[in-house]
Chain A
Amino acid sequence: MNAPDLPATELTEAVESLWGAPLQPAGCPVCKAVYLVPVQWLGRACPHCLRGRLEAQPAWLRREPPELLAPFRVQRGQLEGILAEFTRGVWLHPDDFTPRSLLQRAMPVFWPMWLVDAGLVGDWEAETGYEYQVKSSQESFVDGAWHTREQVEARLRWEPRAGTLERRYENVSVPAVGDHPALTLQTGAYRPDQAVRYDPTQVGPAALRVPDIQPESAWPQAQTALKQAAAEDCRKAAGAQQVRNFAIRAGYENLHWTQMLLPMYVTFYTDDAGQPQVILVNGQTGRAGGPRLASQRKGWRVAGILAGVALLLLVSGLLMATLGALIPPVAALGALLAGLAFLVGAAALVPAIWPWAYNRGRGNPARSDQAIGGRK
């Protein structure tokens, strides 16, 4: 199936308002991410890469406003609690990794998904699975007598089915940005049923991310999503519990593409190397995600202090031991101090090693630079 005819995007220059809100097209010269932002956002750090500054620039946009918007259910007041919970429990964390600094930098951003409406007309074939239960037995011979224990097992019977389908599907969601998988991995799932009709007043001071996947490119994924919806309908139609090997030969009618905007907060802290580490908070559910790193620099500092104390104890101990030649009881105190010096010295190894060990398992698998900035 070829890509459908779609209304082309238009190059939009700097304007006073877009989609009913006072928004300007702006972009990041570093990561090339494009946003629609209130004018006061110009010059701020790019919420995507945090390396570049947002500059006014033309953007390829659809003229019509988004269809749905999931409003921020997590208000700024609740954000501090969420960030406090997120930062808790990281020993030797960077000085910048605090709820307060994360809250200060939190930027409300809406990111987009395509919503596809389409009529499907075609024929399908599949294997549909029907659950049923069977009774099985376990027989035990104990103390000269047989005992039976019956077990009920669930099984699945697969049967071939075929048929036709003529249905319309509304608001099938498809990724509109390249880092969609990384974003959902960090922020968790959104609930599209809580989205409302787009209302410019709900945008508030937030920036709107502009799709970097155009409908032409998103069409294969839309097709897959539509087929999945069709497979689910065919499963239900056949009264089955599961479906596999679903194949449909379908045409698509009256395709309609709009956007849905999903809310999130973007914030960051700087690590030992001065690199920003991005933290995302789902604006609907409050789930926060991002790297929680320990500071190796802080670890060295604590280790150094402990090593200094150990050295001091050792020197004192040696002095006491020397004095012990004259006053024997002092020698015992010297041995005690030397022992303490050994213990504190050994303890100094812990903060030296711990950040490395902790960070090794917790790097940033969910949102690496590569994952979010693949276009760099």
Chain B
Amino acid sequence: MSLSHPNLANWRPPEDYQPVSSQVEGVSVYAPAPKEKPHTDLPVTYACPNCGASTRFDVAAGGVACEHCGYTTAVHSERVGRRAAEFEFTLETLSLAQQGWGLARRELHCDHCGAVLAVPENAMTATCPFCASNKVNLRAAPAEQLRPGFLIAFNVQMDTIRRRAAEWLAKGWFHPSDLASAVVVDRFNGVYLPFWTFDSAITARWSAEVGYERTERYYDAGSKDWKTRVVIDWRHETGQVDLSIDDLLVSGTTHASRAILERLNPFQLNDLQTYTPDCLAGWQALTYDVTLPAAWEQGKAVIREQAREACYADIPTQHVRNFKMTADLADETWRYILLPVYLAAYQYQGKVYQLMANGQTGTIAGQKPVAWWKVWLAIAALLAPGVLLGLIGLPLLAVGGVGLVPLVIGAVALVAGGVFSYQIYRKAVESEAA
């Protein structure tokens, strides 16, 4: 007994399907072919097809260009913005992410001139010191997901950065007056730095005793008079706050100051584009050395505080005690990206200071020396009125009641001066800190 059936010889798998291994005899299996990612994770050497000279990504041209003959080719990348694919925290990925990038240092055989060069730790790119050819993708990621999938290309030219750096050095009254003239920062290194971005939906539930102020009248037996006073009624309350964290940035490298990097924010993640080695040609790029789990811990610390602030904002009064909360994180996702940063260092009076620039927006941030005598002078000037009024008021108070007025004004001036002084001091310390 036989029934008609489709002729298997004529069967064709759907378009873009490819055979995969089958675990059952007599059954063939086809799956969609992975989206083509040609050569994005293979070592690439950039050389001009016209003249053989080295080529590099040119910010002004927006493509890979040859400085020698002017040959330019466009970068093959798609702008995806915040739609860039995100990944879940699968146990498999977390396990692979713990493994890091393998060898700390390896030797590379230059396929352009044959020289052997050493590639430093975490470097994704290199330039051969003998033939000046630019090489990209020198590190193999432990997993497909853990190689950079997206980046923002350098968008600001070096000249602009130099000019803005000079302007930045000249700004600020509590820095040495000769800083802008004494320091010339002309050597910036464009580096693609690794960053992790995190998303999460958070449901935060809080419980606390919340105090509500109430004015009441009472009889003061001492003065034998009715008076008013403010009392606080405490009530146990609960609440829920829903938060959404979108693209929280956490640095993936320990080679650049986190504090300074934070001051470079924001990066416009709407300009994220798919990773292409073309953008890295002739530029430095680092792989992450802060692993995904470690970065996520840093990210969670930020998220927790945001959730706590949101819960406090949900409470209608300032009087809170016995505050407790839980934050349930859901739909946590991450992605690994490269962001453009210019790095520089300069010396002033024998001390080295770091300087960074956002390669996308041109924002400058870094360490700046402080003329501490200016700071102390300013603080003294701010505190002086209060102290002086106090000194005047005290003897006058001893003589007669007139001294009370300058004493009160002096106290107010002293408090205000103290607040301003503290802010100036804090800014000065931050300015020098890395």
Q: Which residue numbers of A lie inside 8 Å of B, CB to CB?
A: 1-2, 4-6, 121-123, 125, 132-142, 146, 148, 152, 155, 159-167, 233-234, 236-239, 249-256
Contact = CB atoms under 8 A, between A and B. Distances in A.
A139 B329 contact: yes
Interface stretch (B7-15, B144-152, B278-286, B365-373): B7-15
Given A141-B308, A234-B29, 13 more contacts: A121-B6, A123-B8, A133-B90, A134-B89, A134-B91, A136-B329, A160-B31, A165-B26, A233-B26, A237-B27, A250-B5, A250-B6, A251-B2
B27 A165 contact: yes
Contacts of A136: 89, 329-330, 332
A interface secondary structure, majority: strand
A142 B324 contact: yes
A320 to B, nearest CB: 64
Contact of B327 (A122, A139, A249): A139
Contacts of A162: 13-14, 17, 29-30
A212 B176 CA distance: 104
Contacts of A134: 88-91, 332
Contact of B91 (A1, A133, A239, A252): A133
B4 interface: yes
A161 B30 contact: yes
B160 interface: no
Contacts of B307: 139
Contact of A164 (B8, B31, B32, B89): B8
B313 to A, nearest CB: 15
Given A121-B8, A161-B30, A164-B28, A138 B326 contact: yes
Interface string B52-94: 0000000000000000000000000000000000001111101
B5 A252 contact: yes
A127 to B, nearest CB: 11
Interface string B97-126: 000000000000000000000000000000
B267 interface: no
Given A155-B88, A165-B27, A253-B2, A139 B14 contact: no
Contact of A251 (B3, B303, B329): B3
A1 B22 CA distance: 28
B334 to A, nearest CB: 11
Contacts of A132: 90-92
Contacts of B91: 132-135, 152
A237 B327 contact: no
B304 interface: yes
A142 B323 CA distance: 8
Contacts, number: 138
B89 A237 contact: no
Closest 8 CB pairs of A and B: A251-B5, A237-B27, A237-B24, A167-B26, A237-B22, A139-B327, A163-B28, A163-B29
B90 to A, nearest CB: 5
B254 interface: no
B interface secondary structure, majority: mixed
Contact of A137 (B90, B94, B329): B329
Interface of B: 1-6, 8, 11, 13-14, 17, 20-32, 88-92, 94, 300-301, 303-304, 307-308, 323-330, 332
Contacts of B17: 162
A124 to B, nearest CB: 8
A136 B329 CA distance: 7
Contacts of B21: 239
Contact of B304 (A141, A163, A236, A239): A141
Contact of B6 (A6, A123, A159): A123
Contacts of A135: 89-91, 94
B30 A253 contact: no
Nearest to A230: B27
17 contacts: A2-B3, A6-B1, A121-B5, A121-B8, A122-B5, A132-B91, A133-B90, A135-B94, A138-B329, A140-B325, A160-B32, A162-B17, A163-B27, A163-B30, A166-B26, A238-B20, A255-B3
B11 A164 contact: yes
Contacts of B24: 167, 233-234, 236-237
A222 to B, nearest CB: 12
Q: Which of A6, A237, A252 gathers the greatest number of chain B CB atoms within 10 Å?
A: A237
A106 to B, nearest CB: 40
Contacts of A252: 2-3, 5
Contacts of B324: 140-142
Q: Which of B6, B13, B27, B89 gathers the greatest number of chain A CB atoms within 10 Å?
A: B27
A152 B8 CA distance: 44
A273 to B, nearest CB: 51
B8 A141 contact: no
B5 A163 contact: no
A238 B27 CA distance: 9
A5 B1 contact: yes
Given A123-B6, A162-B30, A237-B27, A255 B1 contact: yes
A236 B308 contact: no
Q: Which of A1, A132, A161, A256 gathers the greatest number of chain B CB atoms within 10 Å?
A: A161
